[in-house]
Structure 1
Amino acid sequence: MRVPESEIRRVFQISLWLKGAHSLLEVLGGLALTFVSHDLILRIVSALTAAELLEDPRDLVANALRQLAEGFTTDAQSFAAWYLFSHGLIKLVLIAAVLAKRIWAYPAFIVAMIGFILYQGYRMSLDLTFILVAITLLDLVVLVLAWHEYGLVRREQRQNPDAHR
């Protein structure tokens, strides 16, 4: 059974909006990490895990969060802030341009997605996490859809050169 082109485009649009929302959260998270002190992060994690650790001092998730926060150095915080902000901002700009059907944005978006997927693959080789696998799978779907949409937009542009810039 062949999926109608309108449905593929609709899924692509939805995936772009989801990636855009995720990118906005990355930008906000990067900004938050820039302006939040390491001490405040430790206090927040302590407050979030205190009740659970009183109930069960061996709670796996609460102890893991505490260990993660304690091991989260200021250098790691600076890198995370830079990475989240830059990664999110690049994607936001490219997603906005693709949603506006700017022809130049499709190849740039595709190259950026490939770069992010390769980096995420590298990170998964070091530490396999469910969230990274899920994000990477979504990125792969978006990449395939972007490639498909780029082909359609290029054909439309050849048929009507004034439609896209």
Structure 2
Amino acid sequence: MNNIFNKRNVHVTFRVGIVLKALYDIGEILCGIFLIFLTPERMSKLITLISKNELSEDPKDFLMNYLVAFSHTFSHSMQHFTSFYLLSHGIVKILVLILLWRKKLWAYPLSVVIFTVFIILQMQRFSQTHSIVLLFLTFVDLIMIMLTILEYKNIKADSSTK
């Protein structure tokens, strides 16, 4: 059986991971921009508009009730933190992913450090919010760290044999 961690598999998976992560990070940037304009008042109006018909048909609708409850806790500080976090997270990671795509050797250790810092921030925030989304982001970042380290080792091994 072929080793799943062979150079070709690692390289292809790493490249696919970069593309998928970049798409996600572009989404983060777009959401961060959207949140700049989504004040708590606008959020409340939007959720009311979205949930009005659903809740009249099914007053126990879990998702709609969750959204309504969330809109009551959405504050200006949450808006600002989330917008800043999404924008900074997305922009920094996009820049790092571009450097990795271009195979800049110094970017591999840098990206591991950056992904680790974001994991620490995500876990710190998770301890306050218990958001499953933050756990998922952390899992994705851990996979990217592992793939980055493996890809870096492969590139270094290739360069030392030349």
**Same fold, TM-score > 0.5, yes or no:** yes
Q: Compute the displacement of 1:135 (Å).
A: 2.1
- What is the one-letter code of the residue matched to 2:106? W
Mean alpha-carbon deviation: is it higher for 50-59 or for 88-97? 50-59
Alignment partners' CA distance in 1, 2:22 and 2:66: 30
Structure 1 counterpart of 2:33: 31
Structure 2 counterpart of 1:163: none
Query: What runs of 5+ residues in structure 2 fail to find an aligned partner?
Result: none
Alignment partners' CA distance in 2, 1:151 and 1:45: 49
Matched, 1:65 2:67: yes
Structure 2 counterpart of 1:129: 131
Contact 2:38 2:79 (8 Å CA) reproduced: no
Structure 1 counterpart of 2:7: 5
Alignment partners' CA distance in 2, 1:75 and 1:117: 22
Q: Against the structure 1 CA distance between its residues 79 and 124, is the aligned structure 2 distance closer, same or farther, given a 3 Å change threshold?
A: closer
Q: Compute the displacement of 1:155 (Å).
A: 2.9
Count of equivalent residues = 160
Q: Compute the displacement of 1:159 (Å).
A: 4.7
Q: Deviations over 1:69-100 (max 9, x none)?
A: 12111121011111110010000000011001
Mean alpha-carbon deviation: is it higher for 74-83 or for 147-156? 147-156
Structure 1 counterpart of 2:23: 21
Mean alpha-carbon deviation: is it higher for 41-50 or for 125-134? 125-134
Alignment partners' CA distance in 2, 1:119 and 1:36: 23
Q: Compute the displacement of 1:151 (Å).
A: 1.4
Counting only pairs closer than 5 Å after superposition, residues 82-161 of structure 1 correspond to structure 2 as: 82-159=84-161
Alignment partners' CA distance in 2, 1:34 and 1:128: 23
- What is the one-letter code of the residue matched to 2:48? S
Alignment partners' CA distance in 1, 2:40 and 2:27: 20
Mean alpha-carbon deviation: is it higher for 31-40 or for 2-11? 31-40
- What is the one-letter code of the residue matched to 1:119? L
Tell me the TM-score normalized by structure 1.
Answer: 0.87
Cα RMSD (Å): 1.7
Q: Compute the displacement of 1:133 (Å).
A: 2.3
Counting only pairs closer than 5 Å after superposition, residues 68-83 of structure 1 correspond to structure 2 as: 68-83=70-85
Q: Compute the displacement of 1:124 (Å).
A: 2.9
Q: Deviations over 1:37-95 (max 9, x none)?
A: 33322222122211221112232221211121121111210111111100100000000
Taking only the aligned residue pairs, the percentage that are identical comes to 28
Structure 1 counterpart of 2:54: 52
